[in-house]
Structure 1
């Protein structure tokens, strides 16, 4: 009888040990997944936050011919690593080139997407999106007339020298105040097109 009791007890202890091992294994797996999830959440949280910032910055963008054509300043620039974007507070942009009247663009905020092969979808061009109290102004020049554009959103593509918007815009020029939805401006040719729902009002001249 004693050998049988010993064998039964051994089987019982083996079963208990197996159950304990399974329980510990389940706890370890659950704990590992939980810690991994917390670490991923922490990493994700870190990536969402800016990894650096610059105050009172001054930046000059060179054209393909290595001639300066965009001068950008702002109160603060931050980099968002998750999207690889730059967010600028109170941006001030001057566009200038030989034989062209300079154009000044100001806004409350800007988001810059730079060319990149490491993000998806791949960015083929630099894009600057301007938000809130956006103003584009071109003074009277030898080859151009005064122009002032006001809107709450603009998109600037420096490589193509284009300024576009699909939001309501107001244009002041030659004593005419025009309102429209959407616009396309080509800074190279100094031409601007209002896209839809265009309304114009001629201001009275005061002698």
Structure 2
């Protein structure tokens, strides 16, 4: 009887061991096939937007914690292929420290390079009301590149600038708010009212 029990146990151990080896072997083959299929699969490139936000508002703070600018728009869409953002009807408000806030509007915008470049396109308008010693400012163009980290804006498209009663137009613009530099280039025309003497 003892011999029959040990023979039964031996067969049972052999069957369990074979089943375990087959299960582990099947798992290994399945894992190997999965890795091969992933390695041989073509790289998937996402060309469609991966998320969007309707009626968004965004606030950027400067390094000192002060408000740098506020941005809002009808829709913000992320394009993963270039890691850029498309904005419909953007509005950007840059607070004025010694002057009134500047408001920028356009029909569309694209933000790229880790938010360091903002391309405003179609019917671009910039307005700043008069305040203190600063005259009212109005700028019109079809394209404007903003470099918010450098406090620079530039355009290679025709621009029209109104500062108080003075007008200035040309085929390009470079403005550095930090250094107070303004350059209008190409076919420049200007109209300046006579200065008032006291």
Q: TM-score, normalised by structure 1?
A: 0.69
Q: Contact 1:62 / 1:68 at 8 angstroms: preserved in 2?
A: yes
Which residue pairs with 1:157 in the alignment? 147
RMSD: 2.3
Poorly superposed stretches of 4+, deviation over 4 Å? none
How many residues get paired? 156
Shift of 1:200: 2.0
Structure 2 Cα separation of the partners of residues 104 and 192 of structure 1: 18
Which residue pairs with 2:58 in the alignment? 59
Q: TM-score, normalised by structure 2?
A: 0.72
Shift of 1:138: 1.3
Which residue pairs with 1:142 in the alignment? 132
Matches within 5 A, 1:1-207: 40=43, 43-44=44-45, 47-115=46-114, 126-201=116-191
Shift of 1:187: 2.6
Which residue pairs with 2:18 in the alignment? none
Structure with bigger gyration radius: 2
Q: Contact 2:145 / 2:153 at 8 angstroms: preserved in 1?
A: yes
